[in-house]
Amino acid sequence: MLSPMIFSYQDLVAGNGFVASIVLRSRVLVVESDDHSFWLYGVQPSICTGDKRGIDAVLDDFRTKYVHSIYDIAKQASSFDEFRDAVLKFLRQKNDLAARDWEIALHGVERAASAPERAEEIEILPSLSTPAINVLPSYDIAV
């Protein structure tokens, strides 16, 4: 089963002579396998993680991988400009296959939600069914 999700993270990162605030809003594709393990494929940035312990464990692992990535970038950067360039490069890494599958999954959710017999079972947030979803990912970096 494929499920499209939107996530938002906000983090403060300290580096060599700077503290940066990073706000990331983007998409992730959740895949539940036949063995009931869950896999998350980040559309942008491209981060992948999986676990048999359940969706919460996979979401936690995804977040941890993201945070470790930006902290590692901050540690290695000798200046804010170097940090900003490296973080933007990381955040812009796109998984084209996950992006395609995310759109397919989103259309599947929209079709299921509009089916009269299923309409009462599925609640779709208005923002998930509008074209505004195409502006993702977005990120802000500030000093």
Give pLDDT tens digits for 25-67: 889 999 988 888 898 999 988 888 887 788 888 889 999 999 9
What stretch of H or E contains 23?
strand 18-32
**Predicted pLDDT at 117:** 59
State both tokens at 133: 């979803």
Please provide the average confidence, as pLDDT, over all residues in the chain.
80
| Beta carbons within 8 Å of 119's beta carbon, 6+ residues apart | 113
pLDDT of residue 11 exceeding 80, the answer is: yes
Beta strands in 33-99, from DSSP E residues, in sequence order: 38-42, 48-51
pLDDT of residue 143 exceeding 70, the answer is: no
What percent of the chain is predicted at pLDDT more than 70? 78
What is the DSSP secondary structure assignment for residue 36, as one 8-state letter? S
Model confidence band, residue 68 (pLDDT cutoffs 50, 70, 90): very high
Q: Is 112 left (phi over 0), alpha (psi -120 to 50) or beta?
A: alpha
Over the range 75-106, which residues count as b (16 or more CB within 10 Å of their CB) and which as e?
A: eebeebebbbebbeebbeeebeebbebbbebb
pLDDT of residue 122 exceeding 70, the answer is: no
Cα torsion for 98, 100, 103, 105, to the nearest 10°? Answer: -60
Cα torsion for 127, 117, 32, 9, to the nearest 10°? Answer: 20
Give mean pLDDT, residues 13-22: 87
